[in-house]
Each structure stands twice: as C-alpha cells, then as structure tokens.
Amino acid sequence: MFDSEVQEFLKALSNENRQKILFLFMEHQELTVSEVAIKAEIGQSTASEHLTILKKAGIMSSRKEGKEVIYYPNKEKIVNCLEQLANYLKHCC
C-alpha cells in the first residue's frame, strides 16, 4: 500500500495539535519551540514533543542557533507524501 515514509507522515499528522502546529508555518517560515508553544497555546514541553514527532516523520526540519532550535517545514517531503497519497486515491477509489 504505502511506503513507511507515507505511513509516518499520516501517523504524525493524526494528532490535532500537530496539525495545528503545521498550520502555524503557513504564516511563519520559521519558529522556535517557545514561539510554537505560545502560538499553539500549549506548554513548551508539549510543543517540543510534537515538533520532535513531526521532525522524525520528516515533516519538519530544524537547525540550532545558539540555545534556540529553529523549526521550519520540510516542504519537499510534505509535497512528496501528498503526491503519493493523491496517486493512491486516483487508483483506489
């Protein structure tokens, strides 16, 4: 059916908070964990956990600047997974 990459993508986005976090990046190219926590109205440790899951799934990437970790969407990976899903839907249904 799907490769493990697409399964991880779907699993990561099955949580409403992680969906909310991803949509924050429609307005902001990059955000720190603290900024995500404030904008998503969740605790900083919760934001960090969700960002870690999104990063593990390849949806988010990060880089470190001093003590801050800056997160940004991995657009290429997101588009690739969505294209695979669209292709599947064209042929299954």
Give 43: exposed, middle or buried? Use CB within 10 Å, 0-12, 13-18, 19+.
Answer: exposed
The single residue listed with the structure tokens 């779907």 is: 10
Q: CA 24 to CA 19: how far, in whole Å? A: 9
Q: Residue 57 corresponds to which amino acid?
A: A
pLDDT digits (tens, 9 = 90+) for 27-53: 989 999 999 999 999 999 999 999 999
pLDDT at 1 over 80: no
Q: Helix-strand-coil percent breakdown of the chain, rounded to 5?
A: 60, 15, 25
Q: What's the predicted TM-score (pTM) here?
A: 0.90
